[in-house]
Structure 1
Amino acid sequence: MRKLHIKGLLFIALAVLTVMGVGIQTVPADAATYKTVSTQSLKTTAYHKKSTKGAVYNQSHTRKIANLKSYPNTTWYVSKKVVLRHGKTNAVYYYAVNGRHTVKGLIWHGYLKKGKAPFVLKKAKAAVAVNEETGKVVWSKHANTARPIASVSKIMTLYLVLQKIHTTSAKWSDHVKTSNKGLVAMGNSYSCGGFRFKSGHKYTVQELYYAALLDSSNNAAIALGQWVSGSNAKFINKMNAQAKHWNLGKAHFVSASGLENSDLRQFGYNYGSANANKVSAKDVAYIAQHLIQDYPQVLKDGQIGSKKVNGQTCYNYNNLLKGRKYYQANLKVDGLKTGYTPLAGYCFVGTAKKSGHNRIITVVLHDEDEFTETRSLMNYVYKNNLDK
């Protein structure tokens, strides 16, 4: 009998084990070929990933712990420089740990860049943070791009209502016409309403102000606009004129409520050729700045959790307020306005004044995590003293 070569015997053995269904875990040929040449302690320094490549390995470089692409916005804290030899080549690695101390190990130095990871908002399509006093933009993401803003539009509507109250003989107790069939139908609509105009009740400016601010009532906002200017068209022109007066180059309005014309058409309140109000995140922040500075009462009103208006509960959907799901006591959030349509997504303009800091205004547009991302943005601004 001819003797089988050792490789042939190994092949047969593997084949038999495979047929028998026995699993074999192979070890990479180079798994044990990394040798430590030197280790040097460093002053702990912040780094972040340089590209989508790279991984974190255990200290003997025999096991991958994590891929860096799974930690795109993580700051890694480096405390050691380790030189490893692989074959005839030496390579410099850093021993790093993430901020939560849940992942630690060796990362090749070429995959890291000195400095903390840039702050990002993953979900918002556009966002901004502004120093309320100076108007300085302290953080932004696509902040100059005009986008649909849904009911956030109402901060402009409410500004013009307050302007009329404070600069003319108009009073909070003035009655507003609410009998238009379109407005009544809008209030009864499941998707476009929520606040109903009841026949036989004469609604005041103040009642509709609360309905628009707290409950984001669309028919209340439109009725208030008609009260300000005499007609829906004239009021929308006034909104655009005010934006122009403030030099807001990325703001154009076709609706007092923030509803798109595709929804308003059925109620007879569509206006203009564009489908939606489009305003940049930065210009939304500047509208909010004017509202807060000129009529600061809106900050007190914006903290109201709910209010009865002619028997209907107007609920404030700002979930950063005290008692709400995303409340954080030290941020002291006291406003300002939520918004949503399928086109605009979830939008929120917020404002806060943390003790010892300046007031900031934040805006997030088309953000399904509008409250958590707003809170993250506010904390980032204050933690890094960007409000100064």
Structure 2
Amino acid sequence: MGAQETIMQVTKFKWGLFALLVTLMVGLGVGQATTAQAAAYQTVTSKTITKTAYHKKSKKGALYNQTHTRKVVNLSAHPNTTWYATKQATLKHANSKGIYLYVANKSGSIKGWVWHGYLKKGTAPLSLKYAKGAVAMDAQTGKVIWSKAGNTARPIASVSKIMTLYLTLQKVESGKGSWNDVVNTSSKGLIAMGNSAACGGFKFKSGHKYTVKDLYYAAYLDSSNNAAIALGKWVAGSNGAFIRKMNAQAKAWGLKHASFVSASGLENSDLAAFGYRYGSANANKVSPIDVAKIARHLITDYPRVVTDGQIGSKYVDGQLLYNYNNLLKGRKYYQASLKVDGLKTGYTPLAGYCFVGTGQKTGKHRLITVVLHDENEFTETRSLMNYAYKSSSMNA
């Protein structure tokens, strides 16, 4: 082999080795610009389409920018979001083509391109993550718009007081009692309950006289347990007689999933210490649908509860009564369009956070919602209300 041939072979080998290294670098992604070019999706065709609602079809899929070089968000992170498509495009990647939709959420804060197969036409179905039981009911017709475990009876804590309020108002409005009637609050058990850090709220002070109206506001706004029990004794003559009256009223309304052992919603495990244990069961248990039916009777028969339910706070006997409904105007979870004006909160460790809400959106029937054992009772109530109002049957 001549010297020149040797030099040529060595040179050829070097160039071949260089070419191999370049190929390997590109394959490994070292060549940044080339990789971006290879990874990018190319638009073949694109058009504007009529705005159409979609929701996620499965756990798969994500939104990207049009070239797919940047992920916007995984669809699984927004399981209850309705996406609105306004553009359609055929995108090409390597040797494959696909139809993609340009979508955005309702507010327009999240938007991007997604393969059409990851979506399904229509608004997203509601899925309350935390509530163990829930219902949305048309207060005018009694129609159930949506429910989750709607006929399963659960502990309802102070939501029980809507039945106590109903029977109190029934006695007043029938003329058998008066707002100005003085209620016997001398019970040592009820005085101790008022002073209890865990079960109290409104204090029955020695020598003070409290009227039906005083205790009505204490039980309604501040969810006072001793006030509710004292009202029950005023209505029926004794705690036991009142609880029997609660159950009789539930039966008269045809409620099949409702049983009461307490005028306040406290469980017997707490009431025993104050001498107010009643019955063999530990707690009031009512299904979401039956709670909504009680609320419907209360609102329909005694509409003043809607006006009273909007009171944020009130002083009675120098004590501040605070309404814990955080969907009211000025509160953390207020949404103006929902016009929430009631109704009742509740909590015990056994029952969890419970809430009966009501409001009447402009142009719609009045709505009643119930969420039981819900860690996010106000946000999920708001979601439930917004969902229910989309039903055509709610139109006034």
Instruction: Tell me the TM-score range normalised by the shorter chain.
Output: 0.7 to 0.9
Retained in 2: the 8 A contact 1:50–1:112? yes
Conserved? CA contact 1:130–1:138, under 8 Å: yes
Q: Secondary structure of 1:128's partner?
A: strand
**Post-superposition shift, 1:27?**
8.9
Higher percent of residues as helix? 2
Matched, 1:239 2:246: yes
Q: In 2, distance between residues paired with 1:181 and 1:236?
A: 20
* SS state at 2:39 partner: coil
CA drift of 1:256 comes to 0.7
Picking from 144, 147, 153, the partner of 1:140 is: 147
Provide the residue aligned with 1:371 in structure 2: 378
Find the aligned partners of 2:306 and 2:123 in 1 and give their Cα distance. 35
What residue number does 1:38 align with?
45
Aligned residues: 378
Q: 1:182 to 1:161 in 2, by over 3 A?
A: same
SS for the counterpart of 1:95 is strand
Of residues 279-288 and 228-237 in structure 1, the stretch that sits farther from structure 2 once superposed is 228-237
Report the Cα distance in structure 1 between the residues aligned to 2:376 and 2:296, rounded to whole angstroms.
Answer: 23
Alpha carbons of structure 1 residues 7 and 194: separation in structure 2 relative to 1, 3 Å: farther
Native 8 Å contact 2:103 2:113 kept in 1: yes
Q: Do the aligned partners of residues 255 and 10 (structure 1) sit closer, same or farther apart at CA in structure 2, a change above 3 Å counting? A: farther
For 1:9 and 1:329, how far apart are their aligned partners in 2? 67
Shift of 1:31: 4.8
Question: 2:169 aligned with 1:173, yes or no?
Answer: no
Quote the offset at 1:294 in angstroms: 1.4
Question: How far, CA to CA, are the matches of 2:265 and 2:142 in structure 1?
Answer: 24
Q: Using a 3 Å threshold, how does the CA distance of structure 1 residues 30 and 238 change in structure 2: closer, same or farther?
A: farther
In 1, the alpha carbon distance for the partners of 2:255 and 2:102 equals: 49
* Distance in 2 separating the partners of 1:185 and 1:25: 75
**Aligned residue for 2:190?**
183
Contact preservation (8 Å) 2:145, 2:391: no
Contact 2:39 / 2:93 at 8 angstroms: preserved in 1?
no
- Name the counterpart of 1:19: none
- Alpha-carbon distance in structure 2 between the residues aligned to 1:7 and 1:150: 78
Paired residues of 2:135 and 2:146 also in contact (CA < 8 A): yes
Match of 1:314, SS state, is strand
Residue of structure 1 in register with 2:109 after alignment: 102
TM-score (structure 1 length as normaliser) = 0.86
Gaps of 5+ in 1: 15-22
Q: 202, 206, 215: which is aligned to 2:209? A: 202
Tell me the amino acid that sits aligned with residue 217 of structure 2.
Answer: Y
Q: What TM-score, normalized to structure 2? A: 0.85
1:65 aligns with 2:72: yes
Which residue is 2:287 aligned to?
Answer: 280
Give 1:313 deviation, angstroms. Answer: 2.1
* Structure 1 stretch displaced more, 149-158 or 63-72: 63-72
Of 202-211 and 215-224, more deviation after overlay is shown by: 202-211
Residue pairs, 1:246-285, within 5 angstroms: 246-285=253-292
**Distance across 1 between alignment mates of 2:102 and 2:333:** 36
In the alignment, the residues of structure 2 paired with residue 232 and residue 307 of structure 1 have an alpha-carbon distance, to the nearest angstrom, of 27
C-alpha displacement at 1:121, in angstroms? 3.5
Counterpart AA for 1:93: Y
Overall identity of the aligned pairs, in %: 67
Any unmatched runs of 5+ in structure 2?
A: 1-9
RMSD value over aligned CA atoms?
Answer: 3.0
